[in-house]
Amino acid sequence: MTVLMTDVMQVIHRYQHKGFSPRIGMILGSGLSSLSEQIENSVTIPYQAIPGLQVGTVAGHASLMLMGNMGGVPVVCMRGRLHVYEGTPYDSIRIFVRLMKHMGCHALVITGAVGSMLPNAGPGELVMVTDHINFQPGNPLVGHNDESEGPRFFGMEDAYDPGLQDIMQSSANNLGIQLHRGVYISTLGPCFETPAEIRAFRTLGADVVGMSVVPEVLVARHCGLRVACVTAVTNYAAGMSNERITHEGTLHFGEIAARNLTKLSPQFVKEASNAVD
């Protein structure tokens, strides 16, 4: 059954404070839910209350939408994402992103957990995404195009907004936080990659690997949201260390990286809010 955005927004309006209009949207990945503690005077909506969305099945994803203020800026935060490997239909991913645009957001900040192919960016560190390679088997924009949401064809040369990258780097520098830069390659999952795949990905020019981000970026850019993405390194990619890769490790090192993201996010959101139209 097709879900209309008008139905989605009717539900959102029943929860949100009168006059609340978010400037920035946020998506929190594995192990990064503690970032939501930076949001003040928040109103919470469970995903299952929103038409077209569903509860995530992955540990570390709370499946809650929060509306409130971060650093004095009105934001909407998706605490936990929906992954294609969970069987999530693309309809849900489109709704997941577009509802933030319909609420009034001008920019979207995406976070996520990654395996690092950068020798100098180890577990617990942060990597700002500057570009991506889509190794997922599909695209959430395949099929009928809703012209009211965005054009059939659109460029991706500035998928990760250069201006927002500058603001994030400046914010990190001011706080003394090391922020690496890299290209994200998105795989379907849910299994981690093989050492041979990682060698191939490095040859293609990838620096970090994960199982999300790209579908959300595609929908966001299609509907005109400016995008910034910062990822938490939870492990070295397969074959780059002797450590076994586990989801428990993902959550553990995600929480370590979240300590710096907790410092970085309010300053970035404040500066980014002044820069977006």
Known catalytic residue at 125: no
At a CB cut-off of 8 Å and minimum separation 6, what does 54 contact?
47, 48, 82, 88, 92
User: Taking CA 112 as the corner, what is the angle to CA 111 and CA 114, rounded to the nearest 5 degrees?
Assistant: 140
Active-site residue, selected from the candidate residues 83, 106, 132, 222: 83
Active-site residue, selected from the candidate residues 5, 42, 61, 238: 61
Known catalytic residue at 83: yes
Known catalytic residue at 235: yes
Known catalytic residue at 113: yes
Closest Cα partner for 81 from 234, 217, 222? 217
Q: For residues 176 and 22, what is the distance between their CA atoms, to the nearest angstrom?
A: 28
Active-site residue, selected from the candidate residues 63, 92, 186, 235: 235
Active-site residue, selected from the candidate residues 9, 34, 69, 86: 86
Establish whether the linkage from the previous residue to 137 is cis, with ω within 30° of 0: no
* The two structure tokens encoding residue 215: 């579908």
Pairing of strands 126-134, 179-186: parallel
Q: For residues 43 and 38, what is the distance between their CA atoms, to the nearest angstrom?
A: 13
Active-site residue, selected from the candidate residues 211, 237, 238, 258: 211
Known catalytic residue at 222: no
Active-site residue, selected from the candidate residues 5, 70, 100, 113: 113
CA dihedral 258, 259, 263, 265 (to 10 degrees): 0
Known catalytic residue at 85: yes
Active-site residue, selected from the candidate residues 15, 34, 85, 275: 85
* The two structure tokens encoding residue 184: 């994200």
User: Cβ of 183: how many Cβ atoms within 10 Å?
Assistant: 19
Active-site residue, selected from the candidate residues 9, 15, 170, 247: 247
Asked if 99 and 16 count as a contact pair (C-beta separation under 8 A), the reply is no
Active-site residue, selected from the candidate residues 26, 30, 125, 228: 30
Q: For residues 94 and 162, what is the distance between their CA atoms, to the nearest angstrom?
A: 24
Active-site residue set:
30, 61, 83, 85-86, 113, 211-212, 235, 247
